[in-house]
Amino acid sequence: MGTHAQGKKTRRRGRRRFVDYPRAGRSGVRRWLPSWRQLLGTTGLLAIAVATLFVCVYVSVDIPDENAAARREANVYYWSDGSQMVSTGAVNRQNVELNQIAPSAVAAVIAAENETFYEDAGVSLTGLARAAVNMARGRETQGGSTITQQYVKNTYLSQDQTVTRKVKEFVIALKVDRKKSKGEILKGYLNTSWFGRGANGIEAAARAYYGIPAKELNPSQGAMLAAMLKGADLYDPAVSAANHERARQRWAWILDRQVAVGLMTEKERAKYRTFPEPRSRSRSTSLGGQTGYLVDVANRYLKQQTGLTDEDLAHGGHEIHTTFDKSKVRRLERAVRRVVARDLDPKKRSADRHVQVGAASVRPSDGALVALYGGPDATTHFTNNADTSGVPVGSAFKPFVLAAALQHGVSGHEAAAGGVAPVRDRAAGAVRSVLADSRYEADGVLRRAGGEPDPDRPTLREALASGGNATYVRLGKDVGQDMVRRTAVAAGLLRQSMARLEPTFSIGTSTPSAIRMATAYGTFADDGLRRDPYSVTKVVRNGETLPGLTPPSARRALDPQVAQEVADALRSAGRRLGVDVAAGRTGDQDRLRSAWFTGFSKDLSTAVTLFRLRPGTPQLLPLSGVAGKKSERGNVLPPRIWKEYEG
């Protein structure tokens, strides 16, 4: 029995285990130390497991659709001088092609962020390992990503700092690198990266920091923008002295790095020893003040001319170049504010409450809308007073009656002394020509100048300057109110703003906007050529210019001598009002609830309107008592605004 038991023990001791661990035949610490075979086997198994897991993940993770933020772009509006007016939309971005970015700026980004970009497979194993270690330590996972990985994060994933997101980034980057060209990836990265100052993408950044497009960046400026990719909150030099020093050091390192990796020569590097100071930190995306009115006018013009819809504009990505002159817009706003602050006292006079002003300036030579005042603030006063209807124009309409008379003659009377032969027959009777110095005689006949002047009977010129409502009511009847309306529309007023053809039609019951009044007076200034107002010169999207934005062509509205005679009569009116310019305004005899002044020179035609309107009510309030007893029911204010603006 003893021998049998001993043999059984020996056989049990000699049987080999599948995994000899702890190691048999060893004692102490050596029992727990794995052999080289065990180490090699374990490493191999782990590698197989990792590879299997990676294959599973690689197969299961597809390239997702671009996230909404990556697709959204801003619409950027520019002043007439090319400087940025405002960027609208949730994201300030304008996507550009690689050939629209300075090559030196591209080189700076590659040297700073991923010098092996053109050779690598789009991923960094060390970056992924670092992310896992940092996550284990409770730190952020960011750091060590390639340009491709950063592009994937910007375009396809969230900005969450987790290992899961990092693994997805890694896998998608591998697939993107195989699917897209390096050029496509680089373009996408440069268009989606955050540069600070509200700028997504290098085009927006170039304008935010240097006021120029990305294609005009020099190597020094490009290196400075590349430094912002490390974190604009810490590197924007305008934020603090510490930021400035960090930015300067990073900028210098990036230039040196370009030399080290062969993207810049030593000779070129030597040119850039002075830090390229960006402009002060100022980027307004607000639609407050006049900006909202300007954008509104530009958008409406765009939709009319190009067929763009509100949805198209909401998608963004449009570079919209306007006709608005920055200095004139600001000067006009300043003029309105000064006159209103000086002459109105709402706390003292109830008549000064709810007073509103609208104004617009048009260039007669081409119809460009260069300035407007739409109200105190587009974010609180939504109606654009420069482009609204419903405000009767009063005696400022009389020049169109005079123009119709000079252009088409008058009818309804037999030819009188000083008249000329009829130029054609009209249903109402014979047609005779008149002049601005013609006057109605006691017999009710309109005669051309001649003989002794009658001080009690003003000429058409004199009646245009002051009073004369009865004269122009009669003149409108003799010319034909329909002919007056046609003349006003031909000059530039809109047909839908014309009032009913009643006896008072000729003295301004129509309700044109300030923009259209400035346009129509510009027809007198330009010898009878009518040019419709326009506010956008060019729109670019995805590097292509949209069609349909050629400035409106000129159309003959009046004979040159007719326009010149009306302009001369308006200059006489202007001199009586104390301005050396052709001008027309509402008069003391008008019984309308508005005050107007429109004046023009060869270079600029500006209309100013003033009225009272309580928010939420459609009816205009009376102007009696506005600005005090001597204000002629507010009529003195528009000329003051005009002179403040033009002076």
Q: What is the DSSP string of 7-76?
A: HHHHHHHHSPPSS--SPTT--GGGGGSPPHHHHHHHHHHHHHHHHHHHHHHHHH----PPPHHHH---EE
pLDDT at 60: 45
Within 80-213, strands assigned E span 84-88
Split at pLDDT 50, 70, 90, the class of 420 is very low
Residues 6+ apart with CB under 8 A from 576: 465, 466
Select the highest-mean-pLDDT range: 117-131, 440-454, 587-601: 587-601
Select the highest-mean-pLDDT range: 136-150, 200-214, 564-578: 200-214
pLDDT at 57: 47
pLDDT at 45: 64
pLDDT at 140: 45
Split at pLDDT 50, 70, 90, the class of 428 is very low
Axis crossing angle, helix 514-525 with helix 398-408, rounded to the nearest 10: 40
The tens digit of pLDDT for each residue in 567-615 reads 999 998 888 777 777 777 887 777 789 999 999 987 999 999 999 999 8
54 or 298, greater pLDDT: 298
Q: What is the DSSP letter of 539?
A: E
Burial (CB < 10 A; 0-12, 13-18, 19+), residue 331, is: middle
* Span of 46-60, 286-300, 311-325, 424-438 with lowest mean pLDDT: 46-60
Percentage of residues in the chain with pLDDT exceeding 90?
56
pLDDT at 122: 78
* Span of 19-23, 262-266, 491-495 with lowest mean pLDDT: 19-23
pLDDT at 295: 96
Residues 6+ apart with CB under 8 A from 231: none
Kindly tell me if the per-residue pLDDT of 54 is higher than 70. no
199 or 58, greater pLDDT: 199
User: What pTM did the predictor assign?
Assistant: 0.73
Whole-number average pLDDT of the chain: 84
Split at pLDDT 50, 70, 90, the class of 102 is very high
Cα atoms in the Cβ-side hemisphere of radius 13 Å centred on 54: 10
pLDDT at 46: 66
Considering only CA atoms, which of 367, 430, 436 is closest in space to residue 401?
436
Task: Give the other-Cβ count within 10 Å of 90's Cβ.
Answer: 13
Whole-angstrom Cα distance, residue 402 to residue 392? 18
Task: Give the other-Cβ count within 10 Å of 550's Cβ.
Answer: 9
167 or 79, greater pLDDT: 79
pLDDT at 573: 85
What is the per-residue burial (b if ≥16 Cβ within 10 Å, else e) of 146-181? bbbbbbbbbbbbeeeeeeebbbbbbbbbbebbeebe
pLDDT at 141: 41
Residues 6+ apart with CB under 8 A from 611: 355, 356, 391, 593, 594, 595, 620, 623
The tens digit of pLDDT for each residue in 392-406 reads 999 999 999 999 999
Query: Three-class SS of residue 340?
Result: helix
Residue pair 597/638 in contact by the 8 Å Cβ criterion: yes
23 or 526, greater pLDDT: 526
pLDDT at 258: 97
pLDDT at 483: 97
233 or 321, greater pLDDT: 321
pLDDT at 557: 98
Whole-angstrom Cα distance, residue 519 to residue 534? 10
* Amino acid in the structure at residue 232: A
